[in-house]
């Protein structure tokens, strides 16, 4: 049952339009977290709820605030009543804080530019995008604050607009600049997290068979894995739309897509219960043990002092490891019974040791964190960062690395550290930070300062029948952390991108660090122990 008359969100905070203050807001938040949907029939307040969701305390609150709730339900509104709702995940709460409290909310946009060649059916594409929104609940989420609670609410399915910009009347020499401006305009428009959907699409046509599709999604509802899922589902639904007559939406079954068994709000409820139980206590104890005695602050050599109010501006230095050196690094990893990522991570530890003068640096490592099979086919934000005490390996890869000497020993230590962290990846970094702050081990300084990301999914692909396409990430001017290394392997080598906080570092400084990193990797590859 779907209730009607939900007041429109205002700045992410639901307005009860009645007296009751914080207590009523907390009750509304609890109802939304529990997916309890209210209805008004005259003076009768009804509800529809999952089994065991309505407790005695909740019933008491409904009775106490019946009048205010009836007024709330029947007030005029412009906002759609949600189909389902649940608590935001820990990661989403943290990103919501960063988005609303930062100076660069558009920095959380994940934008993809997809040039396409061929007889694209724009109508079929629009229907496929709407069907994708129907399938993936995260693409219909909004985030509403009720007192201290942040809730994700899934709004009903609505057609996904695909505005088309036609450049065919322009001179050929004007296409490139116009396209760049069009991409930048759409990619840099910030989202209002209280208004669904938190994604948008646009289409540009430069010739009869030349198109560019732009897909922009807020990071709060997508990660790297989720982007692959989105493009895969879109390709299947577009193919099905071509076979679906008239204006009908393609179905999951018609597209050969298995049904999804959980929604985005259900993921939030699962995480809440998961972390409140024995596993949550086990995870907390593990990370307290791992970080005992660690230097939580990385002593990076800044070019400029930290500003009181960071701008969030970032810069990138992109480097390339060609095919042959990359093959040598993979062979080195295989010789140590580990992955090339471990070798790259170990060399990065050496670089950080040289920069900081310390034997180890605390680094956050991006990890998929989809530990349940039913989470794998979802568009959503699951990614977590696990903390690694990354050793510096002495003065270089060929001499005295690791506790027992040699780069091989350092690689073994790094592998052991990473896989132990991966076994405990389901403890959210925001909770770990809160633990450290509560124990007065961490202040309000940025944490973590250094992040490493391994793009294991490879280059995203959109497969549309009769269309050739390439998926390109649209760079958004944002510092992920003070320093972030992104590693993207492919068949022809490995791309290394150093993202940095422009508030703290000059571009030539990070360029020099990048060159030093490549030199380290060259030494590693040529001096295999």
pLDDT string in tens for the chain (529-residue length): 233 333 334 445 555 543 456 889 999 999 999 999 988 899 999 999 888 888 999 999 999 999 999 988 888 764 567 999 999 999 999 999 999 988 889 999 999 999 999 999 999 999 999 999 999 999 999 999 999 999 999 999 999 999 999 999 998 889 999 999 999 999 999 999 999 999 999 999 999 999 999 999 999 999 999 999 999 999 999 999 999 988 899 999 999 999 999 999 999 999 999 999 999 999 999 999 999 999 999 999 999 999 988 888 999 999 999 999 999 999 999 999 999 999 999 999 999 999 999 999 999 999 999 999 999 999 999 999 999 999 987 644 433 355 556 899 999 999 999 999 999 999 999 999 999 999 989 888 889 999 999 987 778 899 999 999 999 999 888 899 999 999 999 889 999 999 999 999 999 999 999 999 999 999 988 875 4
The set of residues, in sequence order, having a beta carbon less than 8 Å from that of 39 and lying 6+ positions away, is 1, 3, 4, 45, 46, 47, 48, 73
Pair type for strands 472-474 and 493-501? unpaired
- Phi/psi at 348 (nearest 5 deg)? -65, -35
pTM of the model: 0.91
Alpha helices in 102-156 (DSSP H): 122-135
Residue with the two structure tokens 């790259």: 344
Residue of 300, 296, 302 whose CA lies nearest to 503: 302
157 and 134 Cβ atoms separated by less than 8 Å: yes
CA–CA separation, 525 and 461 (whole Å): 31
Residues, the chain, total? 529
The set of residues, in sequence order, having a beta carbon less than 8 Å from that of 425 and lying 6+ positions away, is 367, 369, 371, 384, 386
CA–CA separation, 43 and 47 (whole Å): 13
What is the per-residue DSSP string for 303-330? Answer: SSPPPSS----EEEEEEEE-HHHHHHHH
The set of residues, in sequence order, having a beta carbon less than 8 Å from that of 273 and lying 6+ positions away, is none
Exposure of 319 by Cβ count < 10 A (0-12 exposed, 13-18 middle, 19+ buried)?
middle
Torsion angle, CA of 236/238/241/243, rounded to 10 degrees?
-70
The SS3 call for residue 177 is helix
Angle in degrees, CA 367, 368, 369, rounded to 5: 95
- Phi/psi at 413 (nearest 5 deg)? -65, -45
Q: Element (H or E) spanning 363, and its range?
A: strand 360-367
Q: Largest Cα–Cα distance of the chain, in whole Å?
A: 81
223 and 203 Cβ atoms separated by less than 8 Å: no
pLDDT at 16: 53
């Amino acid at each position: 049952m779907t209730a009607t008359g939900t007041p429109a969100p205002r700045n992410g905070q639901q307005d009860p339009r009645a007296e009751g203050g914080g207590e009523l807001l907390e009750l509304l938040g609890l109802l939304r977290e529990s997916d309890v949907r209210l209805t008004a029939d005259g003076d009768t307040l009804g509800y529809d709820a999952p089994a065991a969701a309505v407790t005695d305390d909740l019933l008491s609150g409904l009775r106490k605030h019946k009048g205010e709730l009836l007024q709330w339900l029947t007030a005029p509104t412009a906002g759609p009543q949600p189909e389902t709702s649940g608590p935001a995940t820990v990661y989403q709460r943290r990103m919501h804080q960063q988005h609303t409290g930062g100076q660069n909310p558009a920095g959380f946009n994940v934008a993809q530019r997809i040039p396409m060649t061929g007889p694209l059916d724009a109508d079929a594409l629009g229907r496929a995008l709407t069907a994708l929104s129907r399938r993936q609940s995260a693409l219909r989420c909004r985030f509403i604050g009720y007192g201290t609670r942040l809730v994700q609410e899934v709004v009903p399915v609505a057609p996904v607009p695909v505005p088309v910009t036609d450049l065919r009347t322009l001179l050929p020499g004007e296409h490139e600049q116009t396209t760049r401006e069009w991409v930048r305009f759409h990619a840099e428009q910030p989202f209002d997290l209280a208004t669904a959907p938190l994604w948008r699409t646009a289409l540009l046509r430069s010739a009869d068979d030349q198109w560019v599709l732009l897909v922009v999604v807020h990071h709060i509802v997508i990660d790297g894995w989720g982007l692959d899922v989105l493009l895969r589902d879109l390709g299947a639904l577009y193919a099905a739309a071509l076979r679906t007559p008239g204006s009908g939406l393609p179905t999951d079954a018609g597209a050969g897509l298995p049904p999804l068994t959980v929604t985005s709000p259900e993921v939030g409820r699962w995480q809440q219960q998961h972390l409140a139980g024995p596993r949550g206590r086990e995870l907390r104890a593990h990370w307290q043990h791992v970080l005992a005695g660690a230097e939580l602050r990385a002593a990076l050599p800044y070019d400029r002092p930290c500003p009181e109010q960071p701008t969030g501006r970032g810069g990138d230095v992109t480097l390339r490891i060609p095919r042959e050196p990359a093959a040598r690094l993979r062979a080195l990893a295989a010789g140590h019974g580990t992955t090339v990522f471990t070798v790259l991570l170990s060399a990065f530890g050496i670089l950080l040791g040289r920069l900081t003068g310390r034997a180890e640096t605390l680094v956050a490592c991006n990890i998929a964190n989809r530990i349940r099979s039913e989470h794998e086919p979802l568009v959503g934000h699951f990614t977590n960062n696990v903390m690694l005490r990354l050793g510096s390996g002495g003065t270089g890869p060929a001499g005295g690395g690791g506790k027992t000497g040699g780069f091989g020993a350092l690689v073994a230590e790094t592998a052991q550290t990473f896989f132990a962290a991966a076994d405990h990846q389901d403890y959210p970094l925001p909770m770990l930070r809160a633990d450290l702050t509560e124990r007065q081990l961490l202040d309000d300084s940025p944490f973590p300062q250094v992040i490493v990301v391994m793009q294991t999914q490879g280059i995203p692909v959109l497969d549309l029948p009769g269309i050739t396409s390439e998926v390109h990430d649209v760079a958004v001017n944002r510092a992920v952390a003070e320093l972030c290394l992104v590693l993207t392997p492919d068949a022809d080598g490995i791309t290394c991108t150093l993202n940095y906080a422009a508030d703290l570092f000059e571009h030539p400084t990070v360029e020099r660090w990048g060159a030093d990193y490549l030199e380290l990797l060259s030494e590693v590859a040529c001096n295999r122990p």
